Structure 1
Amino acid sequence: MCIQVITIIMACFSGFRSWWMGDLIKYYTLYTNCNGIDWRKHVFSDYTNMGIRILFRGVGFLGLPYEVCVFVIAAFIAMTLGLLIYRYSPSPYWSYLMFIAMGFYVFTFSGLKQTCAMGFVMLAMMGILDNKPRRFFIWTIIAGVFHAPAFIFLFAYPIAKKKIDIGYIAITIAVIGAVYLFRGQIVELLAEAYYEGEKFYTADGTIGGRALMMIFIMAFGLFMRPLRRDDVMYRQVFNLMVVAVIIQYFSMYDNVFSRLADYYYQFIVLFMPLIMEEGEHQALVQPERKYTIRYFAHNNYVLIGLMITLFALWYYNSYVGSSQTILQDFKFFWQIDPYSLYGQ
């Protein structure tokens, strides 16, 4: 019931927003082009990110306004998130706190293509957790049709399934070393593959604050819930967090790599609830693991949870403070008539 209520609130709050804000104005131009006389030229101009154009054309063909597209996308991401949390998260509180505090929800207000793609990636993640590789592959391909960088999630299935052993540690160290030594060449490759050959530069080559925070959270997770071979879902999510940190490292070149890392890092909505799951509850759900679980007193979880909540609120406030360009124009559709402003 809690998840259903939050899903409705998130869908309505985001879905009833006016499109007179941020990139939504540019998307409206695309929407009108996809439903004009020369719609075929715009919808099928190229195959990159064609999914959003097909969606726009489909909604326009039904005679529905652009606002319907905005609402459908908002409802889609809210429902896929709710389904993911309902099926796999031991704590909706931590899941929704992370989704909001880490800035994912604010981002959905403006980035329609990636919002659609991230929703489909959530469905692909369910394929990983349910051991359904075909389902994983289909949903990831659909995500890439909406936003080409989402194809990077195609590596997620074998990475998530990799068992934690000496080989895993050796491979991880080797990858980190290769990333550090060949970061320039890797950036050029990623730019060519995902960002149409755009050039990225770095001033000092230092690791960004977000990457350091991600590393700290992973270290905290290992302390609270050490990796065990039989702790399958936690191990799989942890593996994806490692990939997120590696991709985030490249944000020293440009912030677009933070958006690329988000295809993996959005699953902090599962990682945080898993590391904050009390030992007694883990043992109740998985009794075969009761002798390998690290236990803490309930009061310790309460204190740690309070500290994490305060940190999340601080981080969210910092993120929102840097997102004023997105939020300063936020209005509900009944508060403004964007059609009277468009083109002026």
Structure 2
Amino acid sequence: MLYLGIANVLFLLRYALASAQGARRQVYYVVLWALFLFSAFRFQVGCDWSGYYYQYLAATTTDWSLIFNRRDPIWWAVLGWLKDMGLPYPVANVASSAVFFIGVHVLARRQPDPLGFLVLLLPILIINMPMSAIRQGAAIGLLCIGFAAFIDRRPIRFALWVVIAAGFHSSASIFLLLLPIATGRYTKTRLLMAAILAILGALLLISGDSAEVASSRYIETGREAFGAVFRVGILGMSALYFFLFVRKKWMQTFPQDYSIVSIGAIGMALAFLLIPVSTVIADRFGYYLIPIQAMIFARLPYLPFKSNHALHSALPYIMLLLVFGIWTQFSGHFQQCYIPYNSWIFGLPDGDLLR
């Protein structure tokens, strides 16, 4: 199968270049562009293809006085601009994918292994977001830039990127709750504050009308919610692994971004605890944390494990490839949404879902 083949090639490529850091950085740019083209120029691929097409039809103006009265105003402005310019609907996927991959690149280039970071995003985040839920995909890309500002202790920039991300998908606004702890050194007090704010944010997310919109839009079948249990379950296991095996080593090796990964791990645990309340809300919240999960996994080779160092480094790749293989081979939902893969990179085919 195409998707599993791509994942295997990328994971094997990362393994083959394990001891060639310079080559990994060069190959990273090739892989980044290839994944962007694969995502941006898909045609009638992705679970939300038709849903966003109808949003495109509903977008009639770029009048900001009207757009700001709608949820996700920047997204509606993009759709309105596309219609004003006479551009076909698939261009919306190009725009959203560009935002996603630019944001991912901003965070990836700060990693000691950008290629590892990028390929770890493929099995779950890239397939589900810029290749399907494109509004949230764009929001996640912008939030990646926000995470970089958080690491640099620039709270105003962090807040700005979160607000812009919320203009694409309102659920991103929950990360504004991290603003008070984006200003200084990480302490246990700040950890407690982060936990409290995360809990309050989750309660707001569940109780607000955003939860109702998400429920009506995404809770369609038991199978979809069942898949969310596995995705969020991986996040929960990642949080447990971080606090049991990685936290102290990370504090010693990468103190500058210890704050964001620790808070991210708390969020992963919280997402797992949200499963009994709503698998859909837990799933949607969890997607925002996958870049932080990838940061943790991609840096395992650089942490001072006293034993089983190679196993710790390889385990995330093995786990994600196994999960991705099971999903692509046995999920009817995947078969329906992503098979066959078609691209319009060499021209738009005739069809109804173009303008």
TM tier relative to shorter chain: 0.7 to 0.9
Q: TM-score, normalised by structure 2?
A: 0.74
CA RMSD of aligned residues (A): 3.8
Separation in structure 2 between the aligned mates of residue 334 and residue 117 of structure 1, nearest angstrom: 24
Are the aligned partners of 1:121 and 1:143 in contact in 2 as well (CA < 8 Å)?
A: yes
Are the aligned partners of 1:22 and 1:110 in contact in 2 as well (CA < 8 Å)?
A: yes
Match of 2:13 in 1: none
Match of 1:310 in 2: 318
Match of 2:98 in 1: 75
The answer on 1:56 being equivalent to 2:74 is no
Match of 1:282 in 2: none
**Percent of matched pairs sharing the same residue:** 16
Match of 1:275 in 2: 300
Match of 1:151 in 2: 173
Are the aligned partners of 1:74 and 1:108 in contact in 2 as well (CA < 8 Å)?
A: yes
Segments of 5+ residues of structure 2 without an aligned counterpart are 1-25, 220-228
Gap change, CA 1:336 and 1:272, over 3 Å in 2: same
Q: 2:206 aligns with which of 173, 184, 190?
A: 190
Paired AA for residue 66 in structure 1: Y
Separation in structure 2 between the aligned mates of residue 118 and residue 126 of structure 1, nearest angstrom: 13
Shift of 1:99: 0.7
Are the aligned partners of 1:43 and 1:54 in contact in 2 as well (CA < 8 Å)?
A: no
Match of 1:219 in 2: 243
Shift of 1:70: 1.2
The answer on 1:139 being equivalent to 2:139 is no
Gap change, CA 1:227 and 1:41, over 3 Å in 2: closer
Segments of 5+ residues of structure 1 without an aligned counterpart are 279-293
Cα deviations by residue, 1:310-343 (Å, 9 ceiling, x for unpaired): 2221122234444514213532237997763559
Gap change, CA 1:221 and 1:145, over 3 Å in 2: farther
Separation in structure 1 between the aligned mates of residue 316 and residue 341 of structure 2, nearest angstrom: 28
The answer on 1:23 being equivalent to 2:45 is no
Q: 1:130 aligns with which of 128, 144, 152?
A: 152
Gap change, CA 1:247 and 1:158, over 3 Å in 2: farther
SS at match of 1:117: helix
Cα deviations by residue, 1:173-212 (Å, 9 ceiling, x for unpaired): 8789xx6xx99xx6576232522477799xxxx9973354
The answer on 1:66 being equivalent to 2:89 is yes
Gap change, CA 1:256 and 1:337, over 3 Å in 2: farther
Separation in structure 1 between the aligned mates of residue 316 and residue 301 of structure 2, nearest angstrom: 10
Match of 1:94 in 2: 116
Paired AA for residue 293 in structure 2: I
Shift of 1:155: 2.0
The answer on 1:328 being equivalent to 2:339 is yes
Separation in structure 1 between the aligned mates of residue 252 and residue 302 of structure 2, nearest angstrom: 15
Gap change, CA 1:275 and 1:235, over 3 Å in 2: farther
Shift of 1:4: 1.6
Match of 1:283 in 2: none
Separation in structure 1 between the aligned mates of residue 254 and residue 353 of structure 2, nearest angstrom: 57
Shift of 1:14: 0.8
Separation in structure 1 between the aligned mates of residue 138 and residue 82 of structure 2, nearest angstrom: 15
Gap change, CA 1:50 and 1:170, over 3 Å in 2: closer
Gap change, CA 1:330 and 1:220, over 3 Å in 2: farther
Shift of 1:251: 2.2
Are the aligned partners of 1:34 and 1:42 in contact in 2 as well (CA < 8 Å)?
A: no
Separation in structure 2 between the aligned mates of residue 130 and residue 114 of structure 1, nearest angstrom: 24
Separation in structure 2 between the aligned mates of residue 154 and residue 302 of structure 1, nearest angstrom: 38
Gap change, CA 1:66 and 1:304, over 3 Å in 2: same
Q: 1:33 aligns with which of 47, 58, 63?
A: 58
How many residue pairs get aligned? The number is 315
Match of 1:105 in 2: 127
Q: TM-score, normalised by structure 1?
A: 0.76
